[in-house]
Structure 1
């Protein structure tokens, strides 16, 4: 697997798994009816932010991450990131590689920490992955997310010093 900068021409391959993940409404705070063009604008971030794709040996896009400054001004030393993995490739280390990549990017860019603002508490795979990479739950907004199957569940704020 190779992680490289995302290009506009990667968007159709990203959209193929981005759209069903967003439509499912289980892990992202995006509108479930988010359109393809608007989704591209939200995901393919301009510099100094960065969007990458994970590509398998056959050249297939199997995951993606976007990384950016989480806050402005006197809190601009805090980074954030978001991740999506093609469900056909879950459990194969794609998410771990993408998360580690974003952490390396943030360190190299001089960020002091990373903060994930809205990790759905029922997304146990993501919570476990982030914890294994050194993130901790700082707090949980009770009933901050209306999950389509579980009803109102918490949203974790997760943090890792870099």
Structure 2
């Protein structure tokens, strides 16, 4: 598996992953009916931010990530990132590779920390992955996410000092 910069030409391969994850409504606060163009605009970021894909030896997209400053101005020294892995590739290290790549990017760009603003607490695999890479839960907003089967659940704010 290798991680490369995402291109506009790859959006048709990224879209099915994005669409499936967003429509499931379990991990992202995007509208469930987010369309093709809107999804592309949300996900494919322009420099100095970055969007990437994880691909296998044949070039098939296994997952994707986007990374950017968490805030503008006086908050621009903290990075943020989001990840989506093809559900068919879960458990194969794609998410770990994408997260490690974004941490390396943030360090190389001179960010002082990385913050995830809205990790759904029922997304236990992601929470465990982020913890294993050094992130900690610094707070939880109770009932801030309406999960389709678990009801109102908390959103973790997670942080890693770089």
TM-score bracket for the superposition, by shorter chain length: over 0.9
1:6 is matched with which residue? 6
For residues 90 and 58 of structure 1, what CA distance do their matches in structure 2 show? 18
Query: TM-score scaled to structure 1, two decimals?
Result: 0.99
For residues 72 and 8 of structure 1, what CA distance do their matches in structure 2 show? 25
5+ residue gaps, structure 1: none
For residues 82 and 103 of structure 1, what CA distance do their matches in structure 2 show? 11
Total equivalences in the alignment: 162
Deviation at 1:57, TM superposition (A): 1.0
For residues 151 and 16 of structure 1, what CA distance do their matches in structure 2 show? 26
For residues 84 and 74 of structure 1, what CA distance do their matches in structure 2 show? 28
For residues 95 and 29 of structure 2, what CA distance do their matches in structure 1 show? 19
Alignment of 1:15-94 (within 5 A): 15-94=15-94
Deviation at 1:74, TM superposition (A): 1.5
5+ residue gaps, structure 2: none
Query: TM-score scaled to structure 2, two decimals?
Result: 0.99
Superposed CA offset, 1:68-107 (max 9, x none): 0001111210000000000110000000000000000000
For residues 123 and 48 of structure 1, what CA distance do their matches in structure 2 show? 29
Kindly report the root-mean-square deviation, in angstroms, between the aligned alpha carbons of the 2 structures: 0.5
SS at match of 2:16: helix
For residues 8 and 75 of structure 2, what CA distance do their matches in structure 1 show? 30
Consecutive aligned runs of 4 or more in structure 1 exceeding 3 Å deviation: none
Superposed CA offset, 1:99-140 (max 9, x none): 000000000000000000000000000000000000000000
Deviation at 1:36, TM superposition (A): 0.5
SS at match of 1:40: helix
